Structure 1
């Protein structure tokens, strides 16, 4: 008996049907086959179950009665009180249909008509993805779509409603003469996505109506036009594609900027954020990042991920297990603020890095690398550099006392060619108009640690670990003649206390002899908690202050004190802190701490940050901020949070956030408020779009509906 399949489901419509039953009768006079008792008919991956099944061989009409179930290959299940099927069971009338669809979708109808095994027309239909109430299964679900008639287009995997209404807890709230959504069985389908509506001071009333186009199995496009009452339409698009060897993703937009918040600025505007990654073979990979935009104001206004600086690059890199790595790339930067000096923003081509690691026969590790680049600017300094570094580390454990020794050595060689294009002030400076220079440095260090562990019995274990390192090498001086491209941004903390060269780059080299010392203490509790603290400083033996700026913590022979603290004695309390204090006066120079207290279903997090002014961050001023976040869950479905940051130095809030949400298996309702106080340095006005108020309603398997105000 052929014909249980639907078109495109993977089982031929004329595939043979086999069935089992408790008893089977065949009436030769009427050519009628009757099966009773736990009837199961199989066709490919599809199963039809019923209490009774009859098949008239003359008319080709099959009738299933009693607890009828049709199990589709994709996991969807159709239930019915009875079904009369014809045309090789491709057409039929179904009484009392109920369907369990993919992603927990549930549909019911008083009656249905199936045509050509593909289209099911439904009468007085309801749909929801909510579970029924365990106490009262007849109680209306949290939400449901109800309609006078509907069509379940199985090949298109869509459900289309006529005269549809959305009910919450049985109460009608919304009406639509036509509504359509996927049946949940397809992972991705073309069609309109849920729109977003809102109102802002800058855009006025607006609507975003996205359309999703599933081009094929490996690529798709989302087109999202935004229409507003005060601005010209904006068109955003996102394109994604996967290849056998990689993938690309492009997010772009274009619009016409009628005016900015400051009252000036008119013209076409847009952005493009693109990313690609491709595997050449098992060793090599290539890729690119393209990020450009007309302004930060444009990105903030239209909510396109606002960024301060955009970086574009293209690269090729290779991996050789844990031994070797190499990369060559080119980079271009774009500053988006009106105060940026565009002519001094660098363009880097090429930028080369490679390293190789090897082990010797006595347990030591050798690493050699090269870091080379060419930097070009319109104004400032053009720099070409070739640099190499050789490092060696040899650990040794003295078994009598338990001391841990590590011998480390590092040699640097860098060759420069540079041109100073003008006298414009910037951090990348050279002492002459142009020239060549060679810089070399050798650092050798012997690191000693003595971990002293004490068993505290039922209270866990305790650790005291003194650590001393002696580092020596030639005195390097101020190095003012060499351009500083990669060593401008550095910070002296406990994390860099024992580095041979405290600069992260190569253009500035620490020299001379010094002693680094720290004391670490910890208490480890049986419950997994711990208390850990460290304090230390560095002592330079020579009088040369080196290339450290005032206030860095390393400009004097005796460095600042650095320390860290981790306090988590119980699961509900965690305190993390890092600090730096003036080596002579003890005055604070850096404090970065946070504390989290968890209580039941909630948590409380507070933070404090203080740092002295540094020359590489504009504006040059002290930073002192406090932050607070409180989050709480209420039962299994509700959650809420509130938080913010406040700048104590300028007596102004930096950020304020609040959110609340309800979520269960079929429904999400979320409200979110975000207020940023970032401002344009040129006008001192807040950026457009710094305030966001979002309400998102999600009917799972149907779509998201949002309202946004900024």
Structure 2
């Protein structure tokens, strides 16, 4: 029986089930039984062909000539497909292709399935995956044990050359035999070569890795190599252990030629209510102390741990644990560059406009000439914050309460209870003038021991006070703004004069109250109109004053934006020794502060922040951030100048500049460079240069860095790094 130019709708097509299973061998991620279930025999199959012949005597159905079978989201094309109902053998030949619902496309020249579709043979198979990766083999064979075997296979994620598709890709992996065990979800290679531009460079007789369905599996990761002035030649071979579905461990010891072996690892655990992570490392090595004395065979190490856990929809708790054996360990071995480590624990809650928190913490300084016995520890600290909804008049009230106990191994300690209540009333006049009336009262009670009354040193030095003290500090402020706006087409600008008057008593910072949380003081444009320009609670911004400034903003509908602010503060009670000489607030008339900002204007952005002496307009602070140019050639500059800056107790000018050049040379090539110089010291700090190639299948990242600074064990260093990242295969990092 013969039909020509037919289109047939089959309610139950064994052919498409068979062919689909055969062509799905390479990319199938499930067992054969699951794959059969994935192709629903109840879905109608539409077959079109130039001719369909049914040999009733032989029991063979043959479709030939532009055969197309569609079932659901799958489509099969072939020159000829036949089905022997007696032997249960399905055969397809000539230009076979299968379009999968995932977008993968499989090509073959000959497919034959036998034994109730459990075993099969494929010739000249090629697979184009959805990410444009390619897999090809001379033959493919399916066995009843859920194993696919490919002979003379090759894999590459690289795009072929458009001008000459026969040219070898940037890299590809070839093997005499590739075995995919779907039950164990493992792909094995026998006698595999990695080729780069068609040249074999790496050979291994055996290679195995999880198939794409496996997200996590235990095993060794690619090693990294390096050189270091302190450590010599280093070798790190990480081992990844997937403990279970919610936890994992990365064990990554480092072998060095100068300092032995460093044991290092990372552990992570996912809980239903939170996360836990632990990073730890340790070794037995020499320790070079500040005085040049070298201690032999000392234990050196550190631990960095973090946990966050939800108790319910309102409350959560967590901790940070950071501790090192010595100041320079983390930087010498490349684990971290922090100048301070913090250990803390907390419980906090959020509900509506309420926030509450109880925590405790301690610090370990990694800076030179800092005595950790003088570092504070807080056990505990409690705080509560509330902000009301606006009332009928728009007024809001707020409450900030805190209590803490602060101690030290050596030096002063204190217990504090503080309550700050405030009320804010905004008002807009008929001419667009804006007002804000604020009243605030801060009440603090202290119980202190060994507080120096003549200086701010932590240890006893002169007359000290122990006992109970406190203060009540009221403030009232009225702020006026008058924004004047103009609109011209797509351009909008606003000029806004601002005046703020603050009434408050003088003093209010008795010498019996220690300063522990307000030592990091900085006066600049962002804090000009703050009620308390100190960072913490121990110090208050006492005295009546007036602050005034002028603000200008401009924007376009395309998203370009620029702004300007210039302002100053005047305190009516004259000079105040509470502020440092270089703070900008020591005199009655403060320094002039402000900034000029230009953002996202045709590949150009700039920010200039300044603080000038009001007497001679001399510069006390200058900061510049500049970014110019498109991706093809982008230039950046960061400059900072601080007059009489206090660094680790030493007062001197600080002036530093950093240059950067980044260029997208072409579609795949990019360049980056940077240079940092300490202008005040007249010395270079750091420099770097990098060249990167990045396409769809490989990343080659070459970096050179040079450091000039010295700090105890740390010495000037040159380093060249080369990082190769192969898509699907991982990263090789020779340092």
1:356 aligns with 2:378: no
1:436 aligns with 2:468: yes
Partner Cα separation in structure 1 for residue 272 and residue 204 of structure 2:
43
Secondary structure (helix, strand or coil) at the match of 1:305 reads coil
Partner Cα separation in structure 1 for residue 263 and residue 285 of structure 2:
12
Partner Cα separation in structure 1 for residue 454 and residue 168 of structure 2:
73
Secondary structure (helix, strand or coil) at the match of 1:646 reads strand
- How many Å apart are 1:113 and its aligned residue? 2.0
What's 2:706 paired with? 675
What's 1:264 paired with? 294
- Structure 1: tracts of 5 or more residues without a match: none
Greater Cα offset, 217-226 or 3-12:
3-12
Q: Identify which of 603, 616, 630 aligns with 1:572.
A: 603
* TM-score for the superposition, normalised by structure 2: 0.88
* TM-score for the superposition, normalised by structure 1: 0.91
Please tell me whether the aligned partners of residues 196 and 209 of structure 1 are also in contact (alpha carbons under 8 angstroms).
yes
- How many Å apart are 1:655 and its aligned residue? 2.1
Q: Identify which of 452, 467, 480 aligns with 2:484.
A: 452
What's 2:274 paired with? 246
Partner Cα separation in structure 2 for residue 535 and residue 425 of structure 1:
34
Secondary structure (helix, strand or coil) at the match of 1:131 reads coil
1:226 aligns with 2:258: no
Please tell me whether the aligned partners of residues 621 and 640 of structure 2 are also in contact (alpha carbons under 8 angstroms).
yes
What's 1:698 paired with? 725
Please tell me whether the aligned partners of residues 454 and 511 of structure 2 are also in contact (alpha carbons under 8 angstroms).
no
- Structure 2: tracts of 5 or more residues without a match: 1-13
What's 2:48 paired with? 22
Greater Cα offset, 71-80 or 307-316:
71-80
Note the 1:650-669 alignment, pairs <5 A: 650-669=681-700
Partner Cα separation in structure 2 for residue 556 and residue 565 of structure 1:
25
What's 2:363 paired with? 333
Secondary structure (helix, strand or coil) at the match of 2:328 reads helix
Partner Cα separation in structure 2 for residue 156 and residue 521 of structure 1:
67
Specify whether residues 264 and 116 from structure 1 end up closer, same or farther in structure 2 by C-alpha distance, changes over 3 A only.
farther
Question: Over aligned residues, Cα RMSD in angstroms?
Answer: 3.0
Partner Cα separation in structure 1 for residue 248 and residue 330 of structure 2:
24
- How many Å apart are 1:156 and its aligned residue? 4.0
User: For residues 12-66 of structure 1, what are the alpha-carbon distances to aligned partners after superposition, in whole Å with 9 as ceiling and x for unaligned?
Assistant: 3664746542366554543444455545486x99876644333334444332223
Specify whether residues 337 and 513 from structure 1 end up closer, same or farther in structure 2 by C-alpha distance, changes over 3 A only.
closer
Greater Cα offset, 389-398 or 174-183:
174-183
- How many Å apart are 1:124 and its aligned residue? 1.6
Partner Cα separation in structure 2 for residue 706 and residue 79 of structure 1:
36
Specify whether residues 705 and 424 from structure 1 end up closer, same or farther in structure 2 by C-alpha distance, changes over 3 A only.
farther
What's 2:109 paired with? 81
Secondary structure (helix, strand or coil) at the match of 1:380 reads coil
Please tell me whether the aligned partners of residues 631 and 641 of structure 1 are also in contact (alpha carbons under 8 angstroms).
yes
Note the 1:590-601 alignment, pairs <5 A: 590-599=621-630, 601=632
Partner Cα separation in structure 1 for residue 130 and residue 236 of structure 2:
28
- How many Å apart are 1:157 and its aligned residue? 4.0
Note the 1:378-457 alignment, pairs <5 A: 378-400=409-431, 402-420=432-450, 427-428=457-458, 432-455=464-487, 457=488
1:98 aligns with 2:130: no
What's 1:119 paired with? 147
Note the 1:244-643 alignment, pairs <5 A: 244-258=272-286, 264-265=294-295, 266-321=297-352, 323-337=353-367, 339-358=369-388, 359-400=390-431, 402-420=432-450, 427-428=457-458, 432-455=464-487, 457=488, 460-524=491-555, 528-543=559-574, 545=576, 547-568=578-599, 570-599=601-630, 601-615=632-646, 617-643=648-674
- Equivalenced residue count is 700
Partner Cα separation in structure 1 for residue 229 and residue 502 of structure 2:
60
Larger RCO: 1 or 2 (CA < 8 Å, sep 6+) = 1
Please tell me whether the aligned partners of residues 520 and 532 of structure 1 are also in contact (alpha carbons under 8 angstroms).
yes
Please tell me whether the aligned partners of residues 419 and 435 of structure 1 are also in contact (alpha carbons under 8 angstroms).
yes
Please tell me whether the aligned partners of residues 357 and 367 of structure 1 are also in contact (alpha carbons under 8 angstroms).
yes
Please tell me whether the aligned partners of residues 234 and 253 of structure 1 are also in contact (alpha carbons under 8 angstroms).
yes
What's 2:8 paired with? none
Greater Cα offset, 382-391 or 477-486:
477-486
Greater Cα offset, 274-283 or 99-108:
99-108
Partner Cα separation in structure 1 for residue 29 and residue 434 of structure 2:
72
- How many Å apart are 1:183 and its aligned residue? 4.2
What's 2:244 paired with? 216
Specify whether residues 45 and 385 from structure 1 end up closer, same or farther in structure 2 by C-alpha distance, changes over 3 A only.
farther
Please tell me whether the aligned partners of residues 596 and 606 of structure 1 are also in contact (alpha carbons under 8 angstroms).
yes
Partner Cα separation in structure 1 for residue 212 and residue 718 of structure 2:
35
Partner Cα separation in structure 1 for residue 29 and residue 674 of structure 2:
54
Partner Cα separation in structure 2 for residue 263 and residue 328 of structure 1:
43
